[in-house]
A and B are shown apart, each in its own frame.
Chain A
Amino acid sequence: MPIPRYQPVGDRALLVEFEKKISQEVNARVHSLNETLLQEKLDGVEETVPTYCSLLIYFDPLKTSYEYLVYILQDLQAENFRNVRTQRRTVTIPVVYGGSYGPDLDYIAKHNNLTEKEVIYIHSKKTYTVYMIGFLAGFPYLGEVPEEIATPRLKTPRLKVSAGSVGIADRQTGLYPCDSPGGWRILGWTPLTIFKPSRNPPALLNPGDQVHFKPITQGDLETLHRK
């Protein structure tokens, strides 16, 4: 594991960059360092944004400094390397696959020479990590989708993808938190509210969470609705 790179980002943020690749292992180090850092409750650290292979740390330059934070981080990093935190929250997301809920399930199956059932099985048996949240408020980037069902984005994005849609883009899967234009291949839909501004926290998922999808039927949806 190469040594992480530290860089100032503007006058009030610091970027810690790990190996430049999308992988569970690298991303786990990002979340682990983030948690270790937040636990320190350092004066002047305002907020942090973990992404695939880097962590951006916003700080108040009048309360702390880039140099001081790098010094602290090098220490935390050493600990982080010996002992990556792996304890993570697991969230189960019910999904109705296919039909009008997942208009691209058919394409994903054909693209990969599989049946729709096989795609559902492969997509839902895996546990994913929330690599990061971005693009839209509450949109989680989950990885990694097994190679067998990886499918490229639509060439022309749809003008409207419904809130709750579950999509695939190459080796990633994600959830649309609100109605939005979008180019991911939609294979299903969840009745869960992915982002709600008045909820605390507002997003259903946190960066670093473990996620698995549970196939449900339209009938289950109606039962859920009645409850």
Chain B
Amino acid sequence: MRLLKVLKPGFSTTIQDYGRVGYQKYGVPVSGVMDPVSFFTANLLVGNHMNEACLEATVLGPKLRFLNETQIAITGADLSPSINHDDVCNWRTLQVHKNDLLSFGHSRSGCRAYVAVKGGLSIPILMGSRSTCIRAGFGGHQGRPLKAGDVLKFNANSGKPIPILKLPESLIPEYTSKHEADIILGPQDDYFTKESISKFLTGTFTISMDSDRMGYRLEGEIIKYKNDQRMISDAIPVGAVQVPESGKPILMMRDAQTTGGYPKIAVVSTPTIAQLGQAKPNDEITFQQVSPIRAQQSIREYLKSINGIKHTLKKLSSY
């Protein structure tokens, strides 16, 4: 059995994979990684299949002791990682020896870092996924963020270590604190005044401190309903921008509840939701309307970029 011990949990570190499909009708959030591109890359860098469960650390990383030798990769936000207090880099395979200490320092860029362990974390699958669903208290490690003292099992390092891989510089994403989100208006844009829709599309919003995996609360323009018509609760997709009576929009993220009664002015495109996984409190967001055809193209480009990373690393590993 191979183990790693959590000495410090960091701000909020959870176990996530790509999340759950098919259970929203039972009120189960999709969960899963906030930044899929970094997550897939982390797994590829240690020779895992792309959907192996990883640690997702937020802003302040954990302190972990590896009780067994393995290989790991850290991707996503740069939270100043180090092994035995020697700085290490994101986006490459790292060798970890028995009793090595992985810790993180200050946050340099982005919001969420992913730690993949070769062979994957040994976590039971619930409803098709190993992701932590904090709200309902299941999945991942005991249905909650990691705590000091937790011991996680990881799978045997079958076969020989893979060669050290490095993601080429040109493929490493750059994280900024200003985000442009592509949106498709609706399904309840008709609940809002024309002025409010134009404010939504032209204004700059700030992600509030009160934001997490469930949703990003946005400060900025106040978005008003036409009158006090009430809507009947319906399904909420990830990426929906719902507006409660306060007029302050909330961007619904992966742990969001599956149904609700606030009108949704717009839904953010799939590639944008993935990018916003690295957005942090005080970052700025602007919204721009895109045509359905443009949205389709963006999804293709997004998947193509993931495939590009996959093929590049595959090529590098065969040398």
Contact = CB atoms under 8 A, between A and B. Distances in A.
Interface of A: 7-13, 15, 17, 20-22, 46-54, 56, 58, 61-62, 65-66, 132-139, 141, 177-178, 195, 197-198, 201-203, 206-207
B234 A51 contact: yes
B315 interface: no
Interface of B: 21-29, 126-127, 133, 135-139, 184, 186-187, 231-235, 237, 239-240, 257-260, 264, 267-270, 292, 295-296, 298-300, 303
Contacts of A197: 126-127, 133, 136, 138-139
Most chain A CB atoms below 10 A, which of B138, B259, B260, B269: B259
B27 A136 contact: yes
A12 B21 contact: no
A45 to B, nearest CB: 11
Contact of A10 (B28, B239, B259): B239
Given A133-B259, A203-B27, A206-B26, 18 more contacts: A9-B267, A10-B240, A11-B295, A15-B187, A15-B234, A46-B21, A47-B21, A48-B25, A49-B25, A49-B235, A52-B232, A135-B260, A136-B135, A139-B27, A178-B136, A197-B127, A197-B133, A202-B26
Nearest to A48: B25
A71 to B, nearest CB: 15
Nearest to A55: B235
A136 B135 CA distance: 8
Given A10-B184, A11-B296, A21-B232, A134 B259 contact: yes
B22 A7 contact: no
B234 A202 contact: no
A150 to B, nearest CB: 17
Most chain A CB atoms below 10 A, which of B231, B240, B267: B267
Contacts of B234: 15, 51-54, 56
A51 B24 CA distance: 11
A177 B136 CA distance: 9
Contact of A12 (B22, B26, B270): B270
Nearest to B138: A197
Nearest to B133: A137
Nearest to A34: B25
A58 B23 CA distance: 12
Contacts of A138: 26-28
A191 B19 CA distance: 30
A13 B268 CA distance: 12
B233 A9 contact: no
B268 A10 contact: yes
Contacts of A195: 26, 136
Contacts of A53: 232, 234
B29 A51 contact: no
A51 B259 contact: yes
